[in-house]
Amino acid sequence: MASMLHLFLVLGTLMVASAGSFYQDFDITWGDGRAKIHNNGQFLTLSLDKASGSGFQSKNEYLFGKIDMQLKLVPGNSAGTVTAYYLKSPGSTWDEIDFEFLGNLSGDPYTLHTNVFTNGKGNREQQFHLWFDPTAAFHTYSILWNPQRIVFSVDGTPIREFKNSESIGVPFPKNQPMRIYSSLWNADDWATRGGLVKTDWTHAPFTASYRNFKADACLWSNGKSSCASSKSRSRAWFSQELDSSSQNKLKWVQKNYMIYNYCTDTKRFPQGLPVECRTA
Ligand SMILES: *[C@@H]1O[C@H](CO)[C@@H](O)[C@H](O)[C@H]1NC(C)=O
């Protein structure tokens, strides 16, 4: 009995910083064989054809963490396809942190779309082009989520920061544990130029690839966080902020690669920009 308990404790500790396999960390949830795990769990592919897309979700729920995944997106003519990679809690007043990659015609840039939902309300889109071709090789897409901020990063370069603005009345995701989800699906009714460019099914199946998942995170199970102890809360990412070099990189991306920012869309918000935009 004691040794069983010991085993659970050891496993529990290992799970917190998991660089495991896709078998260990994820369940394939849909796509009828179109999502596949390869190489002993080191590699995962999603595919999309005319009949269906595919998707997976994490076995664990997380409440705060630093979560990295390497993705290689659908190459070639990927117009109309959307690869979504996000964290989300269940229910009708859910929280959500989104990366979505909107495919494009060969040679035209992908759009990286980001959003943050709190209590079921989003409308906080920021969109970017990337400074590299995201279909040519794997790149790391990271979410840092701690009680003070959410930072979206690409290859270690921060592209967006959503700060905790509860002091001025903006809800922040901090009570609802989230799972990681990813899916590849057809959205040619809206994705490329508002639906003008249709998915070219002669290029199907479309495939996106995943590897090197790493979660340094607080796991949630049976109503408890694995970060309840002050020791785990003292880990660097739990209170991490952007240092001045990261702030400069963030500014560089926002100046050169941002193509949409809800915080500057005064037409969309004639009554005034959202409160969190006014302080930034
Ligand atoms: C596709 O490429 C065009 C041309 O550069 C660009 O304006 C557009 O934002 C891109 N669309 C998507 C969905 O990525």
**Domain edges within the chain:** 15-278
Q: Just list the catalytic residues.
A: 96, 100
Which residue in the block uniquely carries the two structure tokens 């700060």?
A: 163
CA distance 159 to 43: 26
Alpha-helical (H) ranges within the chain are: 2-16, 22-25, 230-233, 244-256, 275-279
CA distance 211 to 71: 7
Q: pTM surpassing 0.95?
A: no
CA distance 204 to 251: 38
CA distance 239 to 251: 21
CA distance 114 to 150: 12
Half-sphere exposure of 181 (CA within 13 A, CB side): 19
Q: Does residue 104 have its Cβ closer than 6 Å to ligand 1?
A: yes
Report mean pLDDT in 10-residue bins for the chain, 280 residues.
Answer: 48 50 97 97 97 98 97 96 98 98 95 98 97 98 98 98 97 97 92 81 97 95 88 86 97 98 97 87
What does the pLDDT read at residue 280?
52
Structure tokens of 153? 């990063």
Measured CA angle at 219 (ends 34, 69), to 5 deg: 45
Class of domain 15-278: mainly beta
* 259 CA: nearest ligand 1 atom: 9
What does the pLDDT read at residue 233?
78
Structure tokens of 262? 């809800």
Q: Ligand 1 atom 2: the closest Cα is on which residue?
A: 108
Q: Residue 246 to residues 66, 99, 217: CA-CA distances in angstroms?
A: 16, 20, 21
Half-sphere exposure of 151 (CA within 13 A, CB side): 25
Does the bond joining 274 to the residue before it have cis omega, within 30 degrees of 0? no
Q: Does residue 109 have its Cβ closer than 6 Å to ligand 1?
A: yes
Cα of 110 from ligand 1 centre, angstroms? 6
* DSSP 8-state code for residue 147: T
Contact 135, 75 (CB under 8 A): yes
What does the pLDDT read at residue 20?
73
How many CB atoms are located within 10 Å of the residue 101 CB?
25
* 108 CA: nearest ligand 1 atom: 2
Q: Does residue 81 have its Cβ closer than 6 Å to ligand 1?
A: no
Q: Ligand 1 atom 9: the closest Cα is on which residue?
A: 111
How many CB atoms are located within 10 Å of the residue 218 CB?
23
